[in-house]
Chains A and B, each alone.
Chain A
Amino acid sequence: MLLLWIIAAIIVIVLLAFIFIYNSLIVLQRRVNNAWAQIDVQLKRRADLIPNLIETVKGYARFERKVLNEITKARTALLKAKSPAEAAKAESSIASALKTIFAVAESYPKLRASENFKALQEEFATTENRIAYARQFYNDSVMEYNTAISIFPNRIVASLFGFKPREYFELPEESRARKAVKADFSDLA
């Protein structure tokens, strides 16, 4: 009789453990999904700032036409993108076009001094930081989730209910950002 009770107690405890583990895995998985979506929020914020930047900079008459066209083209490509791969390509064109604009703006002292432009510089700087931190937080969430489904005894529950590991956010191999930055100051001498 006592043996029956002990077995029943063990079964109940194991069941409760399963429920607890399953719930915590679900929470971690949702966090990963949310973190991924947050990256897009920051990318959109950056794209939305671009028209304002173009307006501010256009007024300085001789500002390089080519540079402005580049960023307009990149933003249009983003709005028209139909797949995540196309969107990612457009995002990286935007990133490099922005770098060019701010580099060129350095040689226009009146533009540099304008309050509008300075405010925009801060806006873009903070947006780049937010994009980076959003990706960092996504990777942190992925690490937490991947660890949680791999350790014992969680991995039993994970394989029973089909929890698969998620991928880290990584720059593609050929991406320009991966190449080491070569600083050439020889023409300053």
Chain B
Amino acid sequence: MNFYEQIALNKRKTFLLFLVFFFLAIAIGLALDYITGFGFIMPFVAIFAFIYAFISYKFGDKIVLAVSRAKPAVGKEFRVLHDIVEELCIAAGLPKPKVYYMPEEAINAFATGTNPNNASICVTLGALKKLNREELAGVVAHELSHIKNYDIRTMMIAAVLVGFTVWISDILLRSMWFSSSREDKNSLLIVLGIVLALSAPIVAQLIKLAISRSREFLADATAVQITRYPDGLANALEKIKLEAIPMRSASNATAHLFIANPFKGKGQFLANLFSTHPPIDERIKRLREM
């Protein structure tokens, strides 16, 4: 599959995943109304979600940069990095983001910022030392793709939806304690409601992780559209694969932003389902076929 087809495929997948999310939320909302007969839970949920989203939107990138101990990349030793970023911004038609570095030995990078005019990218010192120019360009192109495709904003929306789902599933469960004894409800529906309330948070998380993986494939394909050189990124991923160094300042909250899963050496199948990134081998395979 060439990168145009990859891009189209992953955009469709993301759309479908959000659709499933939406229906899940509606199902819970309907169950809630059926069981409680309340009408005013929604406004509280909406206000809460709005505040959460607003804070993430305004301060999200500063928070992420601080948590990752990122420092501005100033000085002669970052000359080539800045050149690469500027070159690729010409190819991508993007304004130049702020450039940071992380004092880490592992090869990794991330991008943050909700739109191309307020974006930042960060690269580890390990990446600058161990990657050649084409490989570094591939990694930077991948991060610029996240900015170009508004992935950071997408994942923020997904996170808010997960929070929302978790909250109202909880409410659903609690409300069943209070109302099931009073009215004559269909007990099958009650059971279904309980199953829904218990499984919804996990399903929501799985959907969010699936969206994240989809966006990673999309970022790989868009990176190739920018550089027209898939081997650059593929070779960088090979180098990342061979490393076994975990990162010191990654956390569960920021893991999805990095180019490669910062938590290495976990299990196999189950790990893939719960991973923010697709398996490296699959990513390399798709890149070599472009």
Contacts and interface: CB of A to CB of B under 8 A. Distances in A.
Do the two chains belong together in a single complex? yes
B90 interface: yes
Given A122-B79, A122-B80, A136 B228 contact: yes
A112 interface: no
A137 B83 contact: no
B229 to A, nearest CB: 11
Interface in A108-129: 119, 122, 126, 129
Main secondary structure of the interface of A (DSSP, over half): helix
Interface residues of A, number: 15
A134 B87 CA distance: 9
A134 B90 contact: yes
Contacts of B42: none
B90 A130 contact: yes
A38 B80 contact: no
B91 to A, nearest CB: 4
Nearest to B92: A137
Contacts of B79: 119, 122
A134 B89 CA distance: 10
Contacts of A137: 90-93
Interface in B220-250: 228
A130 to B, nearest CB: 5
Contacts of B228: 136
Range of interface residues on B (Cβ < 8 Å): 10 to 19
Contacts of B87: 126, 129-130, 133
B16 to A, nearest CB: 24
Contacts of B91: 133-134, 136-137
A42 B89 CA distance: 13
A134 B90 CA distance: 6
B88 interface: yes
A141 B91 CA distance: 11
B105 interface: no
B258 to A, nearest CB: 25
A84 to B, nearest CB: 21
B140 to A, nearest CB: 12
A130 B86 contact: yes
B130 to A, nearest CB: 19
Interface string A122-155: 1000100110011011001100000000000000
Contacts of B83: 122, 126, 129
Interface in B34-85: 79-80, 83-84
Nearest to A131: B90
Nearest to B137: A129
Interface in B71-126: 79-80, 83-84, 86-88, 90-93
Contacts of A140: 93
Residue among A42, A119, A129 with most chain B CB within 10 A: A129
A147 to B, nearest CB: 12
Interface in B242-284: none
Given A133-B91, A137-B91, 20 more contacts: A35-B93, A38-B90, A119-B79, A122-B79, A122-B80, A122-B83, A126-B83, A126-B84, A126-B86, A126-B87, A129-B87, A133-B87, A133-B90, A134-B90, A134-B91, A136-B91, A136-B228, A137-B90, A137-B92, A140-B93
The 10 closest A-B pairs by CB, nearest first: A133-B91, A126-B83, A133-B90, A129-B87, A130-B87, A134-B90, A133-B87, A137-B91, A130-B90, A136-B91
25 contacts: A31-B93, A35-B93, A119-B79, A122-B79, A122-B80, A122-B83, A126-B83, A126-B84, A126-B86, A126-B87, A129-B83, A129-B87, A130-B86, A130-B87, A130-B90, A133-B87, A133-B88, A134-B90, A134-B91, A136-B91, A136-B228, A137-B90, A137-B91, A140-B93, A141-B93
